[in-house]
Copies of this chain bind each other. A is one copy, B any other.
Amino acid sequence: METTWEHRLRSAGLRVTRPRLSVLGVLAEHSHVDADTIATAARVVHPSISPQAVYGVLKALVGGGLARRIEPAGAPALYELRVGDNHHHLVCRECGDVADVDCAVGAAPCLTPSDAAGFVVDEAEVVFWGLCAGCQVARRQHGYGAGIAIRGGATA
């Protein structure tokens, strides 16, 4: 059972191209990256790649199930290769850093709404908002310690 990028592209019905391989290469090293960062990194190995090619490649990869797209509120979309495992995300309100959270329940959707209002639900997307370790330290050092009012109102 082949698992090279070439094979995975082909079995998704996609042609194997240099732009696609370089974007996949970037995604393999960085998780939760935006299109612009991907373009910059991909240009190291394939200098002529255009921003629009990156958008196109990413759309193809997501459509083919090779990549996943997440859109944290107030930030450009992020892409990752971890796909099909229904995992969730921690997002830092301060620096935007994103960390993976394995879903304790496993299968999607991992939660069931109390009243689905007639909806057929196929996915439960969970985003945990907070402060990453680094930003907690930075706050304390700059005198923002103790109880700060954090944007967003409702506290878990």
Partner among B65, B114, B130 whose Cβ is within 8 Å of the Cβ of A104: B114
Cα-based distance from A119 to B101 in the complex (angstroms): 11
Asked if A90 and B71 sit within 8 Å, CB to CB, the answer is: no
Using Cβ atoms and an 8 Å threshold, which residues of chain B touch A85?
Answer: 154
Nearest CB of chain B from residue A11's CB, rounded to whole Å: 15
Residue of B nearest to A83 (CB): B153
22 inter-chain pairs at a CB distance below 8 angstroms, sorted by A residue, are A71-B71, A71-B74, A86-B155, A90-B121, A99-B117, A104-B113, A104-B114, A105-B109, A105-B112, A106-B111, A107-B156, A110-B126, A111-B128, A113-B128, A117-B133, A119-B130, A122-B131, A122-B150, A122-B152, A122-B156, A124-B126, A124-B156
Q: Which residues of B contact A90 (CB under 8 A)?
A: 113, 116-117, 119, 121
A121 contacts which chain B residues (CB < 8 A)? 90, 128-130, 156
- Which chain A residues have a beta carbon within 8 Å of chain B's beta carbons? 65, 68, 70-71, 73-74, 77, 83-86, 88, 90, 92, 99-133, 136, 150, 152-156
Given A153-B68, A153-B83: A123 touches B112 (CB 8 Å cut-off): no
Whether the Cβ atoms of B104 and A156 lie closer than 8 Å is no
Contact B118 A122 (CB under 8 A): no
A111 to chain B, nearest CB (A): 4
Which of B102, B111, B136 is close to A126, meaning CB atoms less than 8 Å apart?
B111
